[in-house]
A and B are shown apart, each in its own frame.
Chain A
Amino acid sequence: MTSEFARYTTGEPVADTKAPGGPVNERWDTRRFDAKLVNPANRRKHTVIVVGTGLAGGSAGATLAEQGYHVVQFCYQDSPRRAHSIAAQGGINAAKNYRNDGDSVHRLFYDTVKGGDFRARESNVHRLAQISVEIIDQCVAQGVPFAREYGGLLDTRSFGGVQVSRTFYARGQTGQQLLLGAYQALSRQIAAGNIEMHARTEMLDLIVVGGRARGIVARDLITGRIDTYYADAVVLATGGYGNVFYLSTNAMNSNATAVWRAHRRGAYFANPCFTQIHPTCIPRTGEHQSKLTLMSESLRNDGRIWVPKAKGDDRPANEIPEDERDYYLERVYPAFGNLVPRDIASRAAKNVCDEGRGVGPGGQGVYLDFADAIARMGREAVEAKYGNLFDMYQRITDEDPYTVPMRIYPAVHYTMGGLWVDYDLQTTVPGLFAIGEANFSDHGANRLGASALMQGLADGYFVLPSTINDYLARNPHRAGDDEVNDEHPAVQEVIADTEDRLRLLLAVDGDRTPDSFHRELGELMWEFCGMARTEAGLRKALERIPQIREEFWRRIKVPGTGEEFNQSLEKANRIVDYLELAELMCLDALHREESCGGHFREESQTPDGEAARRDEEFSYAAAWEFTGTGDAPVLHKEDLVFEYVHPTQRSYA
């Protein structure tokens, strides 16, 4: 049986009209020169809304305000310092070549295109690699306390998928330090009166008037008040949608409402099935589990991953002799060993667990062993490098990783898909921009470690503040007939939609909690749209999701009212969007009958079990157009052209 939703149609191709041609290393300069500028004196007349205060939103808000724009910024957290970028542990890549180990902008570009399994745009990725070096300079100037060598210069380390040492870090708290840098820059602009900051305020819909994004509808989470905010452009920096899976490494309140509402209002959603399952997370302990905790990929620099050679070997790790252990990554991928890209490491872990060789409760885990590192470097050196991660592991599991190997298992971590954007980071709705994890642009089908921080800050500090000028210059603000206000029919419709939805959620008064629906959806997605996907499984999920949605609207129970601080209402409202987005993720995974990066279709693999791409049919980004809840969407393809990095079967052996 085919679900109605799966009968999608294919529309006109979608083209990136902003990407300049010419040599790839000159394109960013070309674009910046061709773009129109806004006279500095006129910038304060322009209002820009920025939603989100993570690395992308924080850096964009600060930079736009520094340039003279009037910025109105939002975050659902109680402070702009808390967005989930703060939890990134490992580091940030930059092609500084401080190690003299053969790194260059071109190598970072090459590694990222290859790591993404040839499903990203060359122009965007090259720009990212170019900007990477400026990011480090910017952050150091802000006082970000990166790790340093004794000579006072910056230290770097290696990360998965590369053979150079280009990852800058601040112990295991790189995301925190970079975010605080952006937050402090943002704070300076708030104090200067250039940013109007609304914390504990959540965007619930996008206002589109005359085909252009002109504002948002947002709810004050303390009073429940619903307000409209208007601007000349809207920037979404609202992160990824990993929480569709219920259990993920995302923060509990990270959500997809802003991007999904924008999608419903006309922004295409690209490659939703490209989700990243991170190989090194702490395994779950039971039904009560509310989220999963990641252990930084940097641990794979010194830790060795293994499982017992024999199935069902339940001896404690330390009693399993060396020759009865299978260091499977080192065995299968001798060149990269434990530092293969994330998608490969995750799938390998799943495979050994599926074979019955997993360790820990339920056999859902593999060992990450530091015994050799401790013998080689000494316990103190290991402690200095990874101390806080070891402490965190011990706190959660009550096991000492200095003496017993860690147990790890893959978990949903990052979403490469997101709103489709052109080279200017503008969506298909003019005036609506998406930056950071919220867009789809740079990581293809798999993101390399330490590249999310790089992309978020590249978008926020350097790309968007440059490209948004062109849009604002070409669409000057005009008083009078260009004014939008609450009386405008298009605005009234959006307000009514928002209010109706919240009222309905409160009115159902059923017998199931928001979490129970979220967990059910998450389990379904993990089973059928997780690490390995099949046509049969995806069709089953596509059949099941509308049923869950129907049951949700019949049985949801949300206590309290809408005119107060109501965390159950916030949660239920986000689940409404997950229940639609999940369907699109499954359809995208179903239609892409190839394997690439994090998207593994069991039907498409090489004889030795690696992802088999089918370039002749699927070398495109899939941008989906919304047509109605549960209605078949329209697929728009953006062909990917590779002029510099020739697509090959990725090899890390």
Chain B
Amino acid sequence: MKLTLRVWRQRHADADGAMSTYEVDGISADMSFLEMLDTLNEELILKGDDPVAFDHDCREGICGACSLVINGDAHGPERTTTCQLHMRSFRDGDTIDVEPWRASAFPVVKDLVVDRSAFDRIIQAGGYVTAPTGAAPEAHATPVPKPDADFAFEHAECIGCGACVAACPNGSASLFTSSKVNHLNVLPQGAPERETRVLDMVAQMDEEGFGGCTLAGECATACPKGIPLMSITGMNKEWLRATRKAGKR
């Protein structure tokens, strides 16, 4: 098929950006969206133009690197990552807009590449269990009820891509943060740091310049891993509980 692409081009963080238009031809329905962009880039290189920069790595939907807003939707029309989106979701002659994640906490690095290090700093604030190597008890010493283990897993599936932030009208990182809070706070191993974890992570999230949550729900719709919106409710409950407990101390 033949497509018209309108792609955000921006040379570096401080440069002005604009949409540029490109035509691509000979696109097969079996190609992934990124393979379609590879095709465009091969042509651009041979013409001596600067190829379009975009983040990608595993191309299996698990590393969380790829991050495109396609026709206004984070990761495009299907509920998956951009790398797992295939061209069979488009029709011959379509015009497709391709933009980077848009959020003030995710500044553009170049073209479609953004800086998501704010996510790392949220994890650094408390998204872990303090368990230095070597100090672990026997794995079966503490059974974990299966529903709790499954709940933890469901939230631990977050790939840290940032689609939730890109989709949110407020640019909030609540779904990202809540997925880690829920994953660790439900487990007995995460219990000792339950309060400090949620308070510190939420504080860091605010400090990074992410917007507040108004439960618009766009995040959960865009999440390629299906982290539920209720995750945020869970985080809010944990935060309230921790705040009240801190007040009593």
A contact set with B: CB distance below 8 Å: 59, 62-63, 66, 77-84, 86-87, 96, 98, 134, 136-138, 140-143, 145-154, 170-171, 173, 176-177, 180, 183-185, 187-188, 190-191, 199, 222, 251-254, 285-286, 288-291, 293-294, 392, 395-396, 398, 461-462, 465, 511, 513, 515-516, 557, 559-560, 564-565, 567-568
Contact = CB atoms under 8 A, between A and B. Distances in A.
Contacts of A188: 124, 128, 130
Interface string B145-160: 1100100110011011
Interface in B77-133: 78, 80, 84, 86, 88, 109-110, 113, 115-117, 119-120, 123-125, 127-133
B32 interface: yes
B91 to A, nearest CB: 15
A87 B184 CA distance: 21
A149 B146 contact: yes
B190 interface: yes
Interface of B: 11-12, 28, 30-32, 34-35, 38-39, 42, 44-46, 48-51, 53, 55-65, 78, 80, 84, 86, 88, 109-110, 113, 115-117, 119-120, 123-125, 127-140, 142-146, 149, 152-153, 156-157, 159-160, 183-184, 187, 189-190
Given A136-B139, A285-B30, A152 B145 contact: yes
Given A184-B129, A185-B128, A290-B38, A143 B160 contact: no
A137 B57 contact: no
A184 B201 CA distance: 13
A513 B55 CA distance: 19
Contacts, number: 215
Contacts of B39: 288
B116 A395 contact: no
Contacts of A559: 44-45, 48-51
Across the A-B interface, the 4 shortest Cβ-Cβ residue pairs: A152-B143, A184-B128, A141-B136, A191-B124
Nearest to B130: A188
A313 to B, nearest CB: 24
Given A81-B64, A84-B58, A86-B62, A66 B133 contact: yes
A287 to B, nearest CB: 9
B133 A59 contact: yes
A546 B28 CA distance: 34
Nearest to A250: B58
Mostly, the B contact residues are: loop
Nearest to B61: A392
The interface centre, meaning the residue of A140, A190, A564 with most chain B CB atoms within 10 A of its CB, is A140
B156 A177 contact: yes
B189 A143 contact: yes
Given A171-B153, A398-B88, A142 B38 contact: no
Contact of A392 (B60, B136, B156): B60
B146 A150 contact: yes
A185 B132 CA distance: 8
Contacts of A86: 58, 62-63
B83 to A, nearest CB: 9
A565 B137 contact: no
A330 B32 CA distance: 35
16 contacts: A80-B120, A82-B57, A82-B65, A84-B57, A138-B131, A140-B142, A145-B156, A145-B187, A251-B58, A286-B31, A288-B38, A290-B59, A395-B78, A461-B133, A559-B44, A559-B48
A321 to B, nearest CB: 30
A462 B134 CA distance: 8
A78 B65 contact: yes
A325 B76 CA distance: 41
B125 A191 contact: yes
Given A173-B62, A180-B156, A290-B38, 4 more contacts: A82-B63, A143-B187, A153-B140, A187-B123
Contacts of A396: 84, 86
Contacts of B149: 145-148, 152
Contacts of B117: 78-79, 199
Contact of A565 (B12, B30, B187): B12
A252 B132 CA distance: 32
Contact of B42 (A140, A148, A170, A513): A513
A63 B133 contact: yes
Contacts of A253: 57
A283 to B, nearest CB: 11
B120 A137 contact: no
A252 B56 contact: yes
Nearest to A287: B28
Contacts of B53: 565, 567
A1 B115 CA distance: 52
Among A286, A395, A465, A511, the most chain B Cβ lie within 10 Å of the Cβ of A395
Contacts of A142: 128-129, 131, 189
B35 A154 contact: no
A7 to B, nearest CB: 37
A143 B181 CA distance: 12
A6 B162 CA distance: 50
A511 B124 CA distance: 46
B35 A148 contact: no
A144 B119 CA distance: 19
Contacts of A98: 140
Contacts of A141: 129, 131, 135-137, 189
A183 B158 CA distance: 13
Contacts of A461: 133
A383 to B, nearest CB: 14
B86 A137 contact: no
Nearest to A63: B133
A516 B80 CA distance: 29
B4 to A, nearest CB: 19
A222 B109 contact: yes
Which interface residue of B35, B149, B159 has the most chain A CB atoms within 10 A?
B149
Given A78-B55, A145-B152, A176 B62 contact: yes
A465 B189 CA distance: 24
B45 A557 contact: yes
B143 to A, nearest CB: 3
Nearest to A79: B120
A458 to B, nearest CB: 11
Nearest to A294: B60
Contacts of A290: 32, 34-35, 38, 59
B124 A190 contact: yes
